Amino acid sequence: MIPMLEILKRAREIAELIRMQDDVIVVTHIDADGITSGAIALESLNRMGVEADIVFVKNLDSKFIEDLANTNRFVWFTDLGSGALDLILKHDIDCVITDHHNPANCYYRFQLNPHDFGYDGAYDLCGATTTYLVAKNLGFNYDLVSIAIVGAVGDLQDSREGRLLGLNRKILEEAVEGKFIEVVRDLRFFGKQTRPIYKMLEYTFDPYLPGISGNEKGAIEFLESLGIPLKDGDLWRRWIDLTPEERKIIVSELVKICIEAGMPIKLIKRLVGETYILLHEEVGTELRDAMEFSTLLNATARYGYCDIGLKVCLGDRDEAFKKARSLLRNHRKNLSEGLKLVDEIGIVELENIQFFHAGNEILDTIVGIVAGMCFSKANLNKPIVAFAYSEEGVKVSARATQRLVERGVHLAKAIKVAAAKVGGQGGGHSIAAGATIPRGMEEEFLKELDRIIGEQIRSSRQ
């Protein structure tokens, strides 16, 4: 690993190039990390008085890059760009890149990517934290650190050990010192700030809680059996309304349920971990907890409303926030229905991978989230591959566990090769990756991916 000093030096060099521009277009990805990355870049440019626009994209294909080159504008790629660096350089686009995905096999001086310095883009830095390192050098942008941490959590950078690691941790420490964020060890469920306790439990699918997840009656009976009052007068009690003793009782019982269900200890340990509280946001809102904030942003991104998520990141707590909340309600409903669909159609196991094909029944923008949630009740020893139809063909989303990565699985490398063989494109991280392939090529793609994953595991044993 190259010392962090070298990363900071590169960040300064990139910032100096940005300072020389008077017209910039920010191009970013359509997820929580992409929205927060884009927000950090756009706000830092606005504060400098630089004319700037932002564009959200699913991926960088040759047509988009060609059109972008024809604008003759300076481009700041955030949370993407590294994987298409060869195309970007081919079209001679004047740009900087702050990304964390596996880079193409070519060097570019004005790219900040943890992989170039020997770090892991799945855990050490995300798009938002990488972009923040540059933004810090563009002015007094230290307050944007909260949004950077939201991006890291939204990208599941804290999933390996239930806390942020590596260079993300350094940025988190900066946020804590600046009194922007408080670190609290707590249950890592969505809805602690905003939902009635029974609803928080009912809508928890990662991990899957037998008899509780997706079961309102089961969630209520679980709490009643522990003597936990559901209401305080006429108001439904939320997790943040419980006493420390009540929280301990619930966590202890949830652990017992998971053990009795035969869940691996590593998965059970993920019930509790670090949570990140945004001290400048209102208590009891989705913006107070980084996990809830990131889920809110994902809900805007996955349904084509990235501009709404962007406005929330930039401080809109009125109309944009109301719209984002509405999208979030719809998002959680769709995820729940997606999991029920997978239960109905089943997960098919091959020698080294497992998969399901959602067709048109699950949106291509959320099928990857559903795939990841399926690990709570699927074979943990094989990566999950999910298919859904999209306008471009078939969206492929693959998810692995940290244990599989330790055994040699690298989904980004495997998917890139398998997708290319069937005329598609793919990339991502070792633990999570995606691709777009032509319709009708799923079987051939699965055969190739299954072979590559098998080879990766065998090679790591030697």
Are 201 and 212 contacting, i.e. CB atoms less than 8 angstroms apart?
Answer: yes
Closest CA to 362 of 331, 403, 325: 331
How far is it, in rounded angstroms, from Cα 193 to Cα 237? 10
Are 64 and 84 contacting, i.e. CB atoms less than 8 angstroms apart?
Answer: no
How far is it, in rounded angstroms, from Cα 60 to Cα 347? 31
Mean pLDDT of the chain: 93
Query: Which one-letter amino acid corresponds to residue 375?
Result: F
pLDDT class of 1 with cuts at 50, 70, 90: low
pLDDT of residue 374: 84
pLDDT class of 178 with cuts at 50, 70, 90: very high
* Residues, the chain: 462
- Residue-wise pLDDT for 317-375, tens only, equals 999 999 999 999 899 889 889 988 999 999 999 999 999 999 999 999 999 989 988 87
DSSP 415: H
Q: Both tokens of residue 210?
A: 């037998």
How far is it, in rounded angstroms, from Cα 331 to Cα 324? 10
Between 3 and 255, the more confident residue is: 255
- Residue-wise pLDDT for 47-103, tens only, equals 999 999 999 998 898 899 999 999 999 999 999 999 999 999 999 999 999 999 988
Work out the number of other CB atoms within 10 angstroms of the CB of residue 146: 24
Q: Both tokens of residue 95?
A: 């740009």
How far is it, in rounded angstroms, from Cα 253 to Cα 387? 36
The average pLDDT across 295-307 equals 94
The dihedral of CA 256, 259, 260, 263: what is its sign? positive
How far is it, in rounded angstroms, from Cα 44 to Cα 96? 14
Diameter over CA atoms, the chain:
66
pLDDT class of 262 with cuts at 50, 70, 90: confident
Q: What is the DSSP string of 128-187?
A: HHHHHHHHGGGSS-GGGHHHHHHHHHHTTTTTTTTS--HHHHHHHHHHHHTTSEEEEEEE
Q: Both tokens of residue 116?
A: 């170039």
Work out the number of other CB atoms within 10 angstroms of the CB of residue 176: 16
The average pLDDT across 234-252 equals 96
Angle between helices 145-154 and 166-177 (to 10 degrees): 140
Closest CA to 45 of 121, 98, 124: 98
Instruction: Say which range, 178-187, 335-344, 367-376, 417-426, has the weakest mean pLDDT.
Output: 367-376
